Structure 1
Amino acid sequence: MEKQNYSNHTRMHPLYHYVLTILVLAVLAAAIIYAAGGGDVVTALFMFLVSICLVLIFILVRIYPLKAQDRAIRAEENLRHFVITGKLLNPALTMKQIVALRFAPDEELPGLAEKAAAEKLNPKEIKQSVQAWRADEDRI
């Protein structure tokens, strides 16, 4: 496996990100086509409502685990920062900034965290500022 860095750190799960996305969108498109084609109103409405439910489930199935991962990352990074500096992370840091800071090694974390808070760096800028990338292979 290639060593993780800024240019290759994003991960996709093909079954979810490609196959399931296409299938959910196909169901939604079929419901719209059926309704537009003059199909039975009750059946068309039912198909459309089921397809909307599928889209919502598809979105929520992705969002809920990411929120749980974000909470874990915030706790881990706060602890790591506390162990290194004796202080918690700056409360001005956003969740997205903290998630991006997880790629900074221990030596870079305190300075980069303060810079991120002071300059309101976005996650991309934080990740690009990391000199010695600290891989996170657990998040998709």
Structure 2
Amino acid sequence: MTTKPTQSYENHTRFHPLQHFILLPLSVITLVAALIHTVTAIVRGEFTLSDFLLLALVIMSIIVGLLARVNALKVQDRVIRMEEQFRYYMLTNEPIDSRLTVQQLIALRFASNEEFPALARKAARDELTPAQIKREIHNWRIDKHRV
């Protein structure tokens, strides 16, 4: 019989190995190499359009990668906000406090249904930070789907 995995404040973050350990270091290495190549070409007086295009391509590739990540997170933040507003309504038959920020709602997604309504009210009333909200959670709902 397999045991149910647990999640807590200490282990709720996750890395995407392909992005964090391969793509990011390769992007940095490629950017540094392109900068060195460009500066060397300028110092030697051999700077050409292809040198500029190489550097521009590297920079554009990094920007595209960053935008893909940031935009995916923004969409997911909006979905989480709607899910948590709906969950609060389903549990309490009341709308959630409009003072809660998106970041607070993202932190509240880890709270069990039993803890969620009271913790949401406390977070709005006491203006808890996302880290404070997560520390208040005793029964974590596992979220392994965050981008």
Q: TM-score under structure 2 normalisation?
A: 0.88
Greater C-alpha Rg: 2
* Amino acid across the alignment from 1:65: A
Percent of residue pairs identical: 39
Where in structure 1 are there 5+ consecutive unaligned residues? none
How many residues of Structure 1 are paired with residues of Structure 2 in the alignment? Answer: 140
- Please state how far the C-alpha of 1:54 moved relative to its aligned partner: 1.1
Let me know the Cα RMSD of the aligned residues: 1.5
Whether 2:19 is the aligned partner of 1:12: answer no
- Please state how far the C-alpha of 1:44 moved relative to its aligned partner: 2.5
Where in structure 2 are there 5+ consecutive unaligned residues? none
Written as runs of structure 1 = structure 2, the 5 A alignment for 1:1-140 is: 2-38=5-41, 39-140=46-147
- Please state how far the C-alpha of 1:2 moved relative to its aligned partner: 4.1
Q: TM-score under structure 1 normalisation?
A: 0.92
Structure 1 residue ranges, 4+ long, deviating more than 3 angstroms after superposition: none
- Please state how far the C-alpha of 1:129 moved relative to its aligned partner: 0.7
Provide the secondary structure at the position in 1 that maps to 2:10.
helix
CA contact (8 A) 2:6 2:140 kept: no
Q: Deviations over 1:26-51 (max 9, x none)?
A: 22111110111125242232122111
CA contact (8 A) 2:35 2:55 kept: yes
Provide the secondary structure at the position in 2 that maps to 1:6.
coil
Deviates more, 1:14-23 or 1:35-44: 35-44
